[in-house]
Amino acid sequence: MKPAVIDNLQYVNWSETAFRQLRIGGVDAIHVTIAYHESFREAVLNVSRWNRWFEQYPDLIVRGTSGDCVRKAIETGRTAVFFGFQNPSPIEDDIGLIEVWHQLGIRFMQLTYNNQSLLATGCYEDDDTGLTRFGRQAVDEMNRVGLVIDMSHSGDRSTLEAIEHSSRPIAITHANPKWWHNALRNKSDEVLKALTGSGGMLGFSMYPHHLKDGTDCTLDSFCEMIAEAATRYGVENLGIGSDLCQDQPDSIVTWMRNGRWSKQMDYGEGSADQAGFPPQPDWFVDNRDMPNLSAGLLATGFSQTEVDAIMGENWLRFYDQSFGGAE
């Protein structure tokens, strides 16, 4: 069986065209965002929409819940789709919904999206108070059922406490090192050492606000950053989480950043003149460009085995270890 190619975070405006681009690019599995600020009921409707797509395009996509789903997708020439939340809002204030959501197919959940949540502190808050009482119990329950803790949009203290408190490795599914590009959402060396040192996974983001030089970031620069990360943290805990937001209307940015909590525009990492989605770098516009990344990593000096690991085999191992219930 060929090595897996996995992108562990996309928020594409899905369509038959986008699904076919996954196949052209050889992407065997993706982790898709099911919810940002949705309630339980609203998030269920998003799952229902995906169920219709699985029915409509059975030759292109298949629902993913375990590592074996990726292997099945490779064998049958399809893309396995794994569900995740970028905010814990769909569990509302009910810890019992964590297991319910795992039963419905959710495999990743961020403890916060930029702001303070009931579980932890987001990276845009002035004061990071760490995991809350609910947050610690939620981490325990996520460990028990096999729902991965994702700290991509969390503050440093909350992230470090999640790493320490969790009995299973956690993930930062889509971010880059702050030493490469000092975006508020990128992660400190201290956090990345703790993450990878405990067996957790980092997915490198290709969202322009997370990139050095933004849209003008070169493939060479991106791959050299990955090479430096491999030197600091080892290859085995690195993967891709592109944060691709292809074909989304700019109104979606407002939903992502504002939800229902604010009457004011929250520009996030952008500014008033960057209120919409920034253009992608020309070497990764959509999923058809995924082979460019493999070629770039090879040109940077990685071996083929290392490229295979970063492009998906590391995530596949993590899926195998993370999605089942605790023993």
- CATH number at 130 reads 3.20.20.140
Residue 107 lies in a domain: yes
Residue 190 CA to residue 183 CA, distance in Å, equals 15
Asked whether residue 154 is domain-assigned, the answer is yes
Q: Specify the higher pLDDT residue, 267 or 315.
A: 315
* % of the chain residues with pLDDT over 70: 94
- 303 vs 297: CA distance, rounded Å: 8
Per-residue pLDDT at 268: 63
Q: What is the pLDDT of residue 40?
A: 97
Sign of CA dihedral 147, 152, 157, 160: positive
- Tell whether 1 is covered by a domain: no
Tell me whether residue 247 is in a domain. Answer: yes
pLDDT tens, residue by residue, 163-188: 999 999 999 999 999 999 999 999 99
Confirm whether 327 is domain-assigned: no
Between 75 and 114, whose confidence is greater? 75
User: Which residues on adjacent β-strands are paired with residue 202?
Assistant: 172, 238
319 Cβ contact partners less than 8 Å away, ≥ 6 residues apart: 66, 67, 70, 82, 107
- pTM listed for this prediction: 0.94
Pull the structure tokens for residue 271.
Answer: 């500014």
Residue 314 to residue 238: CA distance in whole angstroms? 7
Contact by Cβ (8 Å): 163, 195: yes
Residue 142: the pLDDT is: 98
For the chain, what is the domain count? Answer: 1
- At residue 266 the predicted structure's pLDDT band, cuts being 50, 70 and 90, is low
For residue range 199-251, list pLDDT tens digits in order: 999 999 999 999 999 999 999 999 999 999 999 999 999 999 999 988 777 76
- Domain assignment present for residue 100? The answer is yes
Q: Above pLDDT 90, what percent of the chain?
A: 86
What pLDDT score was predicted for residue 267? 58
Q: Does 284 map to a domain?
A: yes
Does 49 map to a domain? yes
Give pLDDT, residue 202.
98
Helix (H) / strand (E) containing 325: none
Give residue 29's domain range.
6-322
Render the burial of 45-66: b for 16+ CB within 10 Å, e for the rest. Answer: ebbeebeebeeebeebbbbbbb
pLDDT band at 276 (very low <50, low <70, confident <90, very high): confident
How does residue 272 score in pLDDT terms, banded at 50, 70 and 90?
very low
